[in-house]
Structure formats: structure tokens, C-alpha cells
Chains A and B, each alone.
Chain A
Amino acid sequence: MTVKDFFRRHAYDFLAVSSVLVLSSAALVYYAIPKREDLIASVFVEKSLLATYDLSKETTERTIEIEGKFTPMTLGIKKNAIAVLESGCKSQYCVHQGYVSAANHPIVCAYNEVYIALSGKEPVNSVVAGVMVL
């Protein structure tokens, strides 16, 4: 098989691969853009909102105990960052993520059905707020 035949035979495979590559890379580049913003962490257990923490107001590092679906968990909180420090789950994926400090980057513990959502805090003097006031 010549190189030309090879590319002709796999043309649609290459199309699929390059589409995935381009779209995923674009998303990752977007994720990688540093965004300096104050964060709010919302902790959900089995779809129910357990607590919300304004991470921008945290001055020192502290820990919080929560009850997951099956085991207790320890969360670490510091200025604009949150982590799962301890969990009774077998995989420990949530623990290995360490401190997360980017908006929209979730921390998930599938075993305990815990979802920690990070969102950017709306600045008071934002353009939107300004327009509304005007």
C-alpha cells in the first residue's frame, strides 16, 4: 500500500481524529488561560446543596468535615482554593486532585456522590451591574 492509498483509506479516520484534537485542544487552551477571580465553592451531596463557602474571604487554611453518602470526608479550604484532603472512597481520585483554584473546575467523588462546584464571584462594580444601575 502506497502512502497515498493509506491516506485515502484513512481519510475519514484522520478527519475524526483531527476534529477531536482541535476541539479538545481549544477547550484545554481556554481552561489554561489564567483567570484571576474570587471564587465561591458550593458543596453538593446527593444533589443537595450542603454548604457554600466564599473562598475569597478565607484568610487562613482550615479543614471542614462533611458526611458523604457512605463515608465522612475532610475538605481543605484556603484563599480561593478548595481540596478534598481525606475521603473513604477506594479510588481516592478526589483527593489526588489536590487544591483546585479555577472557576468551573469541579471536584467529584463518585463513591460518596459529592460534587464541589467552583464559580467566579460576580464583582460588584462589573460592567453588567453598571449598566443595570444606569
Chain B
Amino acid sequence: MSVRKMTLLAMMMALAVALGYAESFIPSFWVPGTKPGLANMVILLCLVEFGFFEALLVNLGRVLLVGALTGTVFQMGFYMSAAGALLSLIIMWIGLRYLKKLTLYGVSLLGALAHDGGQLLVGWAFLGNPGVFYYFPFMALISLATGFFVAFVVTRIVKTGILKRILSEEKQNPKAVKP
């Protein structure tokens, strides 16, 4: 991995952590624990521009660091967050790779729904009661809005081609970035 790519990924992780931490101060509306999923913008952007493993790296780092900052590491909420993030990433990756008829909007919606599903699955495992899925329809409706917003922002960023441009500059002038 080149220094430039590593720096970009570190910046992405920092941005995801900042957004995730800022979200922890936003009060939930309507359903307990629901958040706008702003950090998912960074993850989807990484997935589109870099690939699965880079997005996985940023995602895991984000979950761990936000958990450490909010003091919830290895508690139920942390595992819910981690499961939601992982399942969302896997579903978005499948969407991008195999469901070619979906645009980023559809992929983002699937990711948001998978995030909800992952969280509730862990809730079920910890609480031993599938009744937690009562919240799923509420969360799914909120996911429509948050998924659309995330896809809208990511589509705009991808269209500018800024990340591809930064990475291609390195290929054109490798000496400029190598230590």
C-alpha cells in the first residue's frame, strides 16, 4: 500500500470517527438508538473508490475508536454497532459487485437496512428475545431517508473524481510521494 493511499485511508478513518462521534450527541428521533448514519458516507465512499478490504479497515477502526471515545467498548451497544457496520458493508459490497441494476441509492438503502438488521440480530442474541424486531419497520422507514442522504452525498463526491485524481497523480509522479 502506497503512502498516499495509506494517508487517504487514515484521513477517511478520522472523518468517519469524527462523524460517528458527533452522531453520538444527536438525540434519537422516533425510535431508540436510531442515528442518521453519517459515518456510512465515508464507508460507502471507501467501498466505491478503494474496495472491500480498505472499507473494512476504515469501518472496523471507526467502530473501535468511536466505542473507545464514547466509553462503550465491549458492551452490548458496541457489539450492535459492530455487527450493523459489518453486515452493512458486506451487503453494500454484494450490491455494488453483483446487483448491477442498482445505483448507489439502492445500494445505500440496502446497506442501511442491513445495518438495522445486524443491530437487531445482536440485540436478539444478547437479550434472548426476537421481540426486538418490533422496531425494524420504524428503523426501515428512517433508513429510507438516511440511505438516500448518504447516497446523494457519495454520488456527488464520486462524480467530482477527487479521490481517483489524487491516486492517479501518484502514478504519474511516483517520486513526489515516496519517502
Contacts and interface: CB of A to CB of B under 8 A. Distances in A.
Interface string A6-23: 000111110011001101
A44 to B, nearest CB: 7
Interface in B95-133: 99, 101-103, 105-106, 109-110, 113, 123, 126-129, 131-132
Contact of A44 (B103, B128, B140): B128
A9 B105 CA distance: 11
A55 interface: no
B69 to A, nearest CB: 13
A24 B129 contact: no
Interface in A73-108: 90-91, 93-94, 96-97, 104-106, 108
B137 A93 contact: no
A117 B110 CA distance: 29
Task: Pick from A27, A31, A97, A105 the residue with the most CB of B within 10 Å.
Answer: A27
A11 B102 CA distance: 8
Contacts of B129: 44, 106, 115, 117
Interface residues of B, number: 33
A9 B144 contact: no
Contacts, number: 95
A27 B137 contact: yes
22 contacts: A12-B102, A12-B103, A13-B103, A13-B109, A16-B102, A16-B110, A17-B144, A20-B140, A20-B141, A20-B143, A21-B144, A27-B136, A28-B138, A44-B128, A93-B32, A96-B28, A106-B129, A110-B77, A110-B123, A111-B76, A115-B132, A117-B131
Interface of B: 28, 32-33, 70-71, 75-77, 80, 99, 101-103, 105-106, 109-110, 113, 123, 126-129, 131-132, 134, 136-138, 140-141, 143-144
Interface of A: 9-13, 16-17, 20-21, 23-25, 27-28, 31, 44, 47, 90-91, 93-94, 96-97, 104-106, 108, 110-111, 113, 115, 117
